[in-house]
Amino acid sequence: MKGFIGEFEELVLLTIANLGSEAYGVAIMEDITIRANRKLSIGALHSTLTRLEEKGYITSFLGEPTSERGGRRKRYFELTQSAIGELNNMKSLRDELWANSKINLSIQ
C-alpha cells in the first residue's frame, strides 16, 4: 500500500535524513520549527518518533553524555531501509499525481 505514513511522520523522517548523524530530539524539533514554520511540542514529537520506531522506520541509540544537558545522554535516530523505501513510494506517488494533474498546478 502506498502512502501508509502520515504527513507529519513523513516530515519527521525527512528531517532525520537531513540532519544525518545529528538527528536527536531537540535538533529535530528545532529543524521542523524553523523549516516548516510550525509550533510543536516535544511530547508530540517523541510520540511520533516512538510510533515510527514501532513501525520499524527508524532505529535509535544513545550517544555520549554531554555537559550541556547536565550529563544526560542524547538519543539519536537513524532511518531504516524500509523508511527509505516508504519515502520513495511517497515521492513517486506525489510525482505521479503532479505529472498527471489535469489542471495547471504551477504558480503564476
Rounded CA-CA distance 62/77 in Å is 9
Minimum CB distance to other proteins, residue 32 (Å): 14
Q: Which of 21, 37, 41, 106 binds other proteins (CB under 8 A)?
A: 41
82 binds other proteins (CB under 8 A): no
Could you say which of 2, 72, 91, 94 contacts other proteins (CB under 8 A)? 72
Q: Where are the beta strands (DSSP E) in the chain?
A: 58-65, 73-79
d(CA 106, CA 108): 6
How many angstroms from the chain centroid is the CA of residue 48? 9
The single residue among 1, 54, 102, 106 that binds other proteins, judged by CB under 8 A, is 54
Binding residue for other proteins (CB under 8 A) from 69, 84, 92, 93? 69
- Binding segment for other proteins among 13-21, 42-50, 83-91, 99-107 (CB under 8 A)? 42-50
Binding site for other proteins (CB under 8 A): 24-26, 29, 41-44, 46-47, 49-51, 54, 62, 68-70, 72-75
